[in-house]
Each structure stands twice: as C-alpha cells, then as structure tokens.
Amino acid sequence: MAALLEVKNLRTHFYTIEGEVKAVDGVSYDLQPGEILGLVGESGCGKSVSAMSVMRLIPWPPGKILDGEVLFDGVDLLQLEEEEMRKIRGKEIGMVFQEPMTSLNPVLTIGKQLTETMELHLGLTPEEATNRAIELLEMVGIPDAGSRLPQYPHQFSGGMRQRVMIAMAMSCNPRLIIADEPTTALDVTIQAQILDLMQDLCRQNGVALIVITHNLGVVARYADRVNVMYAGNVVERGSAQEIYHNPQHPYTKGLLNSVPRLDDTVKKKLDPIQGLPPSLSKPCLCQFCGEPQPTLVEVSKDHLAARCNADPNCVGWFPRDLG
C-alpha cells in the first residue's frame, strides 16, 4: 500500500543565543492510511517540533526546517505555497494539542468554532454546519450536544474540552490526525477514555493517527507502530508489540523500565534512566562510539533499531550526559 505520510530526513533547528538547537536532526518514518503511530520519548527530544514541522508551523525566527521531505499522499508539503498548505491544515490533517484551552478561542462559542472551519473547508451552509456540529459532538460523547453549542470553552471541563478538540479535528473528514500529548493534562481515568475514543473514531473512519506521548505504556496499548525519539533522532521503530516485548535500543529499554507495565505480575521498582539527555545545542556525539547520528539497522521485519558498526562495545547511538 502507498504510504499516506512519508517523512524523509527531516531536520529542524532553532537559532538561539545558546547556539543552534538541533531539535529534529534527520528523522525518517512512514505512516500507512488508517494506521496509528506512536511517537515517544522524554520531554525535549523533538516530538512536538517534528510534528509541527509536518504541519509547517515552525515559527521563524528562531526555527527553520533545513532539510528533508514530508510527502503527504506523495506531495511534498515542504514545497507547497503557504496558501495551499492552509488548505491541508484542518482539512486533510487535523490536530489535537495537550492543552485545549490554548487552542480553543475563549471568546467564541464552541458552536461557532466548530461551524466556522466546516463552512470554510467544506463549503457548508450555516444550517448544515450546525447540524453536523451537533452530530460531531454526539459522536465524541458530549451529552445534550445541541444545547452546548452556544456555550464557551470555559463552561466545559478539561476532558470535555479535549472531546471538542477531537470533534474539531475530525470535522472536515481528515486523512490524518496529529495528537500532541492529547491526554497529558487530564487525570488518569479521563486519559483512558479520550485515548479509547480517538482510537475508535480513527479505526471507524479510516483516519490515520499520530499520537505523541512521553509514556511508552500508553502507545503500546493504542498504536500499531511506534517511533522512539531520542535527542532529535529516531533510535528505534517497529510494531508496538515488538517495541514493547523485544526492545533493542538501551533508551527504549530505559523508557520501558521507567513506566509500569500492564503485564507485570509483581510490583517492581521503576528504574529511571541514568544521566541526562544531551544538550541539543552542542554536538550530540554518542558516548560509546562518538558518532554524530544513529544508523538504523533492521532487527526483524519492520523493526529497526540504532546499531553501531564502528565500535563493537557500542550499544547503538546513545549520547548521554552522565556528569
């Protein structure tokens, strides 16, 4: 099957007073239509920047997409005019962010915000858009949807606001939704409900989903495939099964040891990863082999992990500040 999204050698850097921050430094992956992909890694490893680069929402200054291709249905988004890109955002690709309060407009009603995009992108009349807005809110599990349209974001709870964001992301029948830490700001029981909802809706409607999270336990449950990001690079990717049960890279193993596992029979001590991730504004060389970038090697079919050919003692590209 032809990939829906193919990211090739994406590099996005920020030019700051501390120097050039290599936030995303040569990331490649693909996503099939309808597939759920998890993007995991600790805070600051470049997850959001890689997603914002796909949407071409990197603010200049200080950020710049320096290199790479983002093929969406075979078209390189990085080459489009800004006006063409605006037709893709919100229409072909929907977005859900961590904190809906910052992406919802506080002074517009929920109804207005939902119908506006549909009138713009789908050419619906106000009445058609309102009917569809009610359908969408019902679909994401908001009770008494019609009476909630005239309400403002602050009249919704955190979980309900995130449901509204999902309704908005789905409103123009996108082919892909990018959800950046969609449940991090919510309490644990609501988190599971929202993730279940996104998974169901994407499966039912054949929408591909990229879920960004720092919790590998979460993606293992919801994703088909997983990209593990470390210091602006992908160090391992494979099916969720493989990443969870047969992790290869020491960072992936570290991530797994630092979250509770569903298949743990006894409660074990969680083991944080030693040291700090390297500063992305300094040359990011592997502590073992000194290489500046990982080389991904096939472990098994559709499972790639950073491996080192230069140094037999190297566990795979792993720059870490142990000082």
Ligand X SMILES: Nc1ncnc2c1ncn2[C@@H]1O[C@H](COP(=O)(O)OP(=O)(O)O)[C@@H](O)[C@H]1O
Is residue 16 involved in binding ligand X (CB under 6 A)?
Answer: yes
Member of 5, 255, 280, 315 binding ligand X (CB under 6 A): 280
**Contact predicate 249/43, CB 8 Å:** no
**191 contact choice in Mg ion, ligand X, none (CB below 5 to 8 Å, kind-dependent):** none
Of 63 and 111, which has the nearer Cβ to Mg ion? 63
Instruction: Judge residue 321's burial from the number of C-beta atoms within 10 Å of its C-beta, 0-12 exposed, 13-18 middle, 19 or more buried.
Output: exposed
Is residue 48 involved in binding Mg ion (CB under 5 A)?
Answer: yes
Of 41 and 153, which has the nearer Cβ to ligand X? 41
Of 31 and 212, which has the nearer Cβ to ligand X? 212
Calculate the dihedral angle through the C-alpha atoms of 248, 6, 63, 164, rounding to the nearest 10 degrees. Answer: -90
Contact partners, residue 238, CB within 8 Å, separation at least 6 = 225, 226, 299, 300, 302, 303, 304, 305
**14 contact choice in ligand X, Mg ion, none (CB below 5 to 8 Å, kind-dependent):** ligand X
Minimum CB–partner distance for residue 48 and ligand X (Å): 3
Is residue 23 involved in binding ligand X (CB under 6 A)?
Answer: yes
Minimum CB–partner distance for residue 126 and ligand X (Å): 37
Q: Which of residues 45-84 bind ligand X (CB under 6 A)?
A: 45-49, 59, 62-63
Of 43 and 313, which has the nearer Cβ to ligand X? 43
Minimum CB–partner distance for residue 66 and ligand X (Å): 13
Is residue 14 involved in binding ligand X (CB under 6 A)?
Answer: yes
Task: Count interface residues toward Mg ion (CB under 5 A).
Answer: 1
**Contact predicate 177/94, CB 8 Å:** yes
Minimum CB–partner distance for residue 48 and Mg ion (Å): 3
Q: Which of residues 209-248 bind Mg ion (CB under 5 A)?
A: none
Residues that bind ligand X (CB under 6 A): 14, 16, 21, 23, 41, 43-49, 59, 62-63, 280
Residues that bind Mg ion (CB under 5 A): 48
